[in-house]
Structure 1
């Protein structure tokens, strides 16, 4: 099965709880149907990305990265790579690479939320499929080359440092926990 095929299955199975998520899921599916390269960074019309919010549920906190290019506190994530067999595998790979934490495990049940956001040209959109990953007890993160900083934030601190999309991801993740 191709990564595109996996993405279509994941999106068709995604249970959109809040308003707007069903329409967004349909936008993602239409994008993949009309762009055979819609999984890859090279797709100028936009492409799917995979991300994961790293959670330390025992201590009530999440790990955010201060993105080097955007200067924003975000969850770990990025572009799909040819070696990624599934969207979930891409999200887990990105979370592991950017957090430096080994042994992360995705919450069962698939994506937590979908988020479509504009990015600078030559591409115009990221169609992000967002998961949540549990960190093993006592995990010590290590900053990557893609980040200016990496820091744990208590759930209630996120709104003060991150945008609405990250706050929504934290809220949905907490509900899934």
Structure 2
């Protein structure tokens, strides 16, 4: 199965109904329509926009998240980025990005698939990132290591995130915490 096919299956199975955002079902359809119209819609080269994969690294035992100060955007964000030809699934792409950008081996995605969807505009020549957002659990005692894509990495207590990150990251954290509360 191709990464494109996996993304379609993941999105068809995505149920954001537990999310506080009413727009999740609409975004899901936007993503599916994009992939139906663009066979290259998974790749950075697709000028109409492309699917990306990200993961919020969480340490639920300590009530904190690891954010990266993105080198280009100069914003505190979750780990994530473009899919690569070696990625076999969206989940694998999100886990690869989280591992590369955090420097933490042994991350495990929160079961159940994506946590949220977030579409955001990006500068030319492309138009949109259609981000499929996961949550990754950090192993106990893990130590982060800054990658070349980051200016900084920092753990933030849950209640500190709204002061440093944009609304998309805050909504991702809120949804992740709700899912963690259900599984724990």
Aligned equivalent of 1:86: 89
CA distance in 2, matches of 1:21, 1:48: 15
Unaligned runs of 5+ in 2: none
The list of structure 1 runs, each at least 4 consecutive aligned residues, that deviate by more than 2 angstroms after superposition, is none
Q: Which residue of 2 aligns with 1:145?
A: 148
**Number of the residue aligned with 1:12:** 12
Gaps of 5+ in 1: none
CA distance in 2, matches of 1:16, 1:101: 28
Are positions 1:62 and 2:65 aligned together? yes
> TM-score if structure 1 supplies the norm length?
0.99
- Deviation string for 1:40-68 (max 9, x for gaps)? 00000000000000000110000000000
Picking from 122, 125, 134, the partner of 2:125 is 122
Q: How many residues align?
A: 177
**Is residue 2:116 matched to residue 1:113?**
yes
CA distance in 1, matches of 2:98, 2:81: 9
Deviation at 1:168, TM superposition (A): 0.1
Counterpart in the other structure of 1:22: 25
C-alpha distance in 2 between matches for 1:170 and 1:100: 20
CA distance in 1 between counterparts of 2:156 and 2:175 reads: 16
SS in 1 for 2:139: coil
Question: Do the aligned residues in 1 keep the contact of 2:16 with 2:115 (CA within 8 Å)?
Answer: no
Query: Does the 8 A contact of 2:52 with 2:130 survive in 1?
Result: yes
- Find the aligned partners of 2:143 and 2:100 in 1 and give their Cα distance: 13
**What are the superposed Cα offsets for residues 100-132 of structure 1, whole Å, 9 maximum, x if unpaired?**
000000000000000000001011100000000
TM-score, normalisation: structure 2: 0.96
Find 1:42's aligned residue among 37, 41, 45.
Answer: 45
Q: Alpha carbon RMSD of aligned pairs, Å? A: 0.4
